[in-house]
Amino acid sequence: MNYVYILECSDGTFYTGWTNDLEKRIRMHSEGKGAKYTKGRGPLKLVHCEEFESRSDAMRREYEIKQLKRSEKILLIKNYME
């Protein structure tokens, strides 16, 4: 499986990424070994996740989410949490 996820950083910003091993990727982010953006912005909280069969579908969705305005991301997260 492939996943697109959004992490909320301790400063209130969001990081969007994709992976084929969600648990490992979040652990890497938390240990400061993930993306440069999340390094030093912990603790991190998983606030959104979507599952995809193919890598290309996950990467396409990651791109779509990254194009959203912050307010649209907040709405996406709110709907996910409900």
CA 8 to chain CA centroid, Å, is: 8
* Locus of tokens 């912050």: 70
Q: What percent of the chain has pLDDT over 90?
A: 94
* Locus of tokens 């409900």: 82
What is the Cα–Cα distance from 69 to 75, expressed in whole angstroms?
Answer: 10
Residues 40-72 pLDDT 10s: 999 999 999 999 999 999 999 999 999 999 999
**What CATH number has the domain spanning 2-81?**
3.40.1440.10
Question: Which of 46, 41, 49 shows the shortest CA–CA distance to 9?
Answer: 41
Q: What single letter denotes the amino acid at residue 53? A: E
Q: Are residues 46 and 9 in contact, defined by beta-carbon separation less than 8 angstroms?
A: no
**Total-model pTM:** 0.94
